[in-house]
Amino acid sequence: MGSSSTSSKDDFSVLVLASDLGIDARPFLTHQEPEDSWYDCTSDPPPSEEQDFAHLDSLQFLRLESGSDKLGNRIFRIVGKYFPAQVISAERLKKYVFNKICTELPEGPFCIVYMHSTVQKEDNNPGLTILRWIYEELPSDHKDRLQAVYFVHPGLRSRLVLATLGRFFLSGGLYWKVKYVSRLQYLWDDIKKGELEIPEFVQKHDEILEHRPLTDYGIEPDPLHLSQMPPSAYSIGRHDTGWASRQYMS
């Protein structure tokens, strides 16, 4: 038949998707751009890559401090409260961390000071699995150069999670580098004052913990803050002679 001689370039295919299977058809119907390839730490990142992270730099949740700990390790400061976990994907976070380490960190050993003060799990926590994934993707040289992770103001939940699941989700090298620091005064045993900037809210949180130490263990001894209320001008008391009247009693 004449129609059978039609060129093969005119052939087409039909893809039928059942609408009641809950399948998103867009990946099948639209052209997918290849994912961005990540650069190696041995090469310089594209200029556009640095500009792309400018808004993340402005949040100040991860930055290289000018000082070092008492062993000479340069300090990377992480403020958990500043990290917007709900709006940054895991891949985006990984690229940012790699960019900071590969472009700003000088040669030699370094440490991390992580401030967990007032962190909310839903808003500021990327998850232990994601943190492990990022760490495992680091070049072995950078893993070896990381000497310590100072975990400032760890809550009861964080301690329990790391104590029970830390050995499974964190590699052995990283797990044993974590050092819990319940108060800033203990941080000064390893880092001199002035070597890194402490946010004001972290200092205030440290003062609260100092006056209410049970908060470290998830216990709030005065949830209504009744101890901070001014004393009443009048009261009713019972003396040895019987019930004593007060100014408002007839």
Q: pLDDT-based confidence at 164, cuts 50/70/90? A: confident
Has residue 47 got a pLDDT over 70? no
For the chain, what is the mean pLDDT? 75
Mean pLDDT calculated for residue range 143-154: 93
**CA distances for 125 relative to 12, 40, 64, 70, angstroms:** 48, 27, 20, 29
Instruction: Please tell me the predicted confidence (pLDDT) of residue 219.
Output: 65
Identify each DSSP E strand in the chain by its residue range: 62-68, 74-79, 110-115, 146-152, 178-181, 238-239, 242-243
- For the segment 205-224, what is each residue's pLDDT rounded down to a tens digit? 999 888 886 666 666 655 54
Query: Which of 42-46, 79-83, 225-229 is predicted most confidently?
Result: 79-83
Give the pLDDT confidence score for residue 71 in this predicted structure: 96
pLDDT of 176-215, one tens digit each? 899 999 999 999 999 999 999 999 999 999 998 888 866 6
Contact assessment for residue 65 and residue 77, using Cβ atoms and an 8 Å cutoff:
yes
pTM: 0.67
Residue 113 is classified by DSSP as E
| Residue 8 token pair | 């093969």
| Closest alpha carbon to 206 in 235, 174, 182 | 182
User: 78-121, pLDDT tens digit by residue?
Assistant: 999 999 888 888 899 999 999 999 899 999 999 999 999 988 88
- Give the pLDDT confidence score for residue 185 in this predicted structure: 95
